[in-house]
């Protein structure tokens, strides 16, 4: 139906030149792929680009960042968090959307094979994304490809030297936000406190991933993304909160065995999550020890803390909804 490479290049140009605006009429082309539908954003007026060819029969405008960031500022609205199954058959993947009114945050790390599906999942709950978080250098290019399908305001990356992240900074330019430990900001009544990375102190992509605490009224959630043992050890000493309602388990629950047991034990004891969410491939919580699953240790320890465990890979999605007073968790597909 269309050339995939042209589509990806074309959509990326939207993100690159989005803040320039355009007077042409807006339109999206709906593309059905298997069991999901993806709306492809395109533009026939891309300045400073030679040998540019638009998709056939598609006329749309560039993304105007100021329009994406113009959202309802009502802080009393409900808060939703969507954890989507974005893994391939063999590789873990993560798509999270935090939504409150018109303010949306997406966190994305997916295999290359799941880029288009990840974009479709975000589009299923969000018209535009005010903040798109690329949590680590690992799979940064794939995450940027997902962003190219969306109306995105700002793109956040960790303060970490990496060729992949440097390329993304060059592409998105003044739409980039660089996060590190100690950064904080508030939007739509939500307080965000960035807890990693620690620039120049640790090596590896995972130890330099973005993690953050999110608080809305009397509700809290900690998003661990891809952090590993070194970052976990340092984060424990920087978190002021001593309990969270929701914990996104670090790094899909992998790499958290005996070598990192002291750090991860302190981490779990500090946060004492009511609900712990394991992303990535399906997990049989009752059989992790018997099957030799590498996620065995965090599962067993969180059970000792009486946390309720959910596996995103066992579901189509998991949704957390907070109405300002209480929250509930629903799973779809288990």
Flag whether pLDDT at 28 surpasses 90.
no
C-beta separation of 74 from 158 below 8 A:
no
Q: 66-332: which CATH topology?
A: Metallo-beta-lactamase; Chain A (3.60.15)
Q: How far apart are CA 157 and CA 142, in angstroms?
A: 13
Flag whether pLDDT at 105 surpasses 70.
yes
Q: Show Cβ contacts of residue 201 under 8 Å, excluding neighbours closer than 6 positions.
A: 234
C-beta separation of 332 from 318 below 8 A:
yes
Alpha-carbon dihedral sign for residues 7, 13, 15, 18? negative
For the entire predicted model, the pTM comes to: 0.82
Pairing of strands 308-311, 275-278: parallel
Give the start-to-end residue ranges of the domains of the chain.
Answer: 4-63, 66-332
The least confident of 129-143, 201-215, 247-261 is: 247-261
DSSP single-letter state for residue 132: E
Question: ∠ CA 37-43-46 to the nearest 5 degrees?
Answer: 145
DSSP single-letter state for residue 44: S
What per-residue string of b and e applies to 89-118 under the rule 16 or more CB within 10 Å gives b? eebbbbbbbbbbbbbbbbbbbbbeebbbbb
- Comparing 263 with 213, which gets the higher pLDDT? 213
Write out pLDDT tens, residues 162-215: 999 999 999 888 889 999 999 999 999 999 999 999 999 998 999 999 999 999
Q: Work out the average pLDDT over 32-53.
A: 45
Q: Show Cβ contacts of residue 168 under 8 Å, excluding neighbours closer than 6 positions.
A: 134, 140, 141, 144, 155, 157, 176
- State the pLDDT at residue 150: 87
Tokens of 238: 């920087």
Q: If DSSP codes are grouped into helix, strand and coil, which group holds residue 36?
A: strand
C-beta separation of 42 from 29 below 8 A:
yes
- State the pLDDT at residue 126: 93
């Amino acid at each position: 139906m269309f050339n995939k490479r042209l589509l990806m290049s074309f959509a990326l140009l939207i993100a690159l030149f989005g803040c320039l605006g355009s007077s042409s009429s807006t339109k999206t082309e709906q593309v059905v792929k298997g069991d999901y539908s993806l709306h492809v954003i395109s533009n026939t007026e891309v300045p400073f680009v030679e040998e540019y060819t638009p998709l056939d029969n598609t006329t749309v405008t560039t993304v105007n960042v100021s329009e994406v960031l113009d959202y309802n500022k009502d802080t009393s609205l409900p808060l939703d968090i969507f954890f989507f199954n974005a893994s391939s058959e063999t590789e873990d993947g993560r798509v999270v959307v935090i939504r409150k009114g018109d303010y949306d945050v997406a966190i994305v790390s997916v295999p290359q094979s799941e880029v288009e599906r990840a974009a479709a999942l975000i589009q299923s709950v969000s018209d535009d994304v005010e903040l798109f978080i690329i949590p680590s250098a690992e799979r940064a290019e794939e995450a940027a490809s997902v962003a190219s399908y969306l109306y995105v305001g700002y793109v956040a990356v960790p303060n970490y030297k990496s060729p992949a992240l440097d390329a993304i900074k060059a592409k998105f330019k003044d739409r980039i936000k660089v996060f590190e430990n100690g950064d904080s900001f508030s939007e739509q009544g939500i307080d965000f406190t960035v807890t990693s990375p620690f620039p120049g102190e640790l090596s590896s992509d995972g130890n330099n991933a973005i993690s953050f605490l999110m608080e809305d009224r009397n509700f809290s959630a900690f998003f661990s993304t891809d952090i590993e043992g070194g970052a976990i050890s340092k984060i424990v000493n920087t978190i002021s909160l001593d309990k969270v309602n929701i914990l996104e388990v670090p790094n899909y629950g992998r790499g958290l065995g005996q070598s990192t047991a002291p750090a991860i034990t302190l981490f779990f004891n500090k946060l004492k999550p009511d609900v712990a969410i394991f992303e990535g491939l399906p997990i049989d919580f009752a059989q992790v020890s018997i099957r030799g699953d590498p996620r065995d240790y965090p599962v067993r320890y969180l059970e000792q803390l009486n946390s309720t465990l959910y596996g995103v890979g066992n579901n189509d999605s998991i949704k957390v909804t907070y109405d300002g007073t209480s929250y509930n968790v629903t799973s779809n597909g288990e």
